[in-house]
């Protein structure tokens, strides 16, 4: 029985001494070196998403979104529907050396409300990340119905709904958009 107690005491003492001597940072660094996380969802992709291209960053993104080139984007991000296009809302250099391109989805000349995608394109013309979704199935017959509301009626609706004493930061812009549920 004494022998077991002595072994237990030696084991506990050795364990305590080793944990106090071993630097915390070394043990922690060894743990995190093995961790590699890649998150891919339907509305966000990262990696080398297209092949290298000599085209401008906006054309690289537009071709991928319209399925005119090989890509590994999410099916919810692309749209090969007839009448769908994408226009550049913003293009600028990004903090990581890529070019940030923000694209607005257009269907038959009208913006699709809430459907902007943001992509980062590197110097080789490869999309490195993209976020956002494209509206799908825009060729439905319901979208072909013309709006019966004139621009003046639309402006008047704002005053009727919110009152005549509204102060706008800038002159309201009235335009037709497609709203998808």
Bridge partners (DSSP) of residue 177 are 111
Terminus-to-terminus CA distance in the chain, angstroms?
76
Between 48 and 7, name the one with better pLDDT.
48
Identify the weakest region by mean pLDDT among 8-12, 40-44, 78-82: 8-12
Please provide the average confidence, as pLDDT, over all residues in the chain: 82
- What's phi and psi for 130, nearest 5 deg? -150, 140
Highest CATH level, class, for 44-137? alpha beta
Is 0.75 topped by the overall pTM? no
On the CB side of 117, CA atoms within 13 Å amount to 32
63-119 residue pLDDT tens: 999 989 888 898 999 998 899 999 999 999 999 999 999 999 999 999 999 999 999
- What's phi and psi for 165, nearest 5 deg? -95, 25
All CATH 3.10.450 domain ranges of the chain, comma separated, are 44-137
| Predicted pLDDT at 65 | 96
125: left (phi over 0), alpha (psi -120 to 50) or beta: left
Q: CA separation (Å) from 52 to 56, 107, 122?
A: 11, 28, 9
Report the distance separating Cα 132 and Cα 13, nearest Å: 57
Q: How many helices (H) and strands (E) does the chain have?
A: 4, 6
96: left (phi over 0), alpha (psi -120 to 50) or beta: alpha
Between 97 and 143, name the one with better pLDDT.
97
| Predicted pLDDT at 1 | 57
pLDDT beyond 80 at 3: no
| Predicted pLDDT at 84 | 94
Identify the weakest region by mean pLDDT among 16-20, 144-148, 173-177: 16-20
| Predicted pLDDT at 9 | 67
Residues 8-22 have a mean pLDDT of 58
């Amino acid at each position: 029985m004494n022998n077991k107690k002595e072994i237990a005491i030696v084991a506990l003492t050795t364990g305590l001494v080793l944990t106090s001597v071993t630097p915390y940072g070394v043990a922690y660094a060894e743990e995190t070196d093995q961790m590699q996380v890649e998150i891919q969802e339907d509305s966000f992709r990262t990696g080398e998403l297209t092949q290298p291209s000599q085209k401008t960053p906006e054309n690289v993104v537009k071709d991928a979104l319209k399925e005119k080139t090989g890509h590994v984007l999410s099916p919810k991000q692309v749209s090969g529907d007839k009448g769908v296009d994408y226009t550049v809302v913003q293009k600028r250099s990004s903090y990581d050396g890529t070019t940030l391109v923000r694209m607005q989805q257009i269907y038959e000349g009208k913006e699709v409300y809430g459907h902007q995608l943001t992509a980062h394109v590197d110097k080789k013309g490869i999309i490195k990340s993209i976020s956002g979704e494209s509206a799908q199935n825009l060729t439905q017959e319901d979208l072909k119905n013309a709006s019966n509301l004139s621009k003046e009626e639309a402006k008047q609706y704002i005053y009727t709904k919110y009152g005549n004493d509204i102060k706008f930061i800038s002159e309201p812009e009235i335009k037709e958009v497609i709203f998808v549920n």
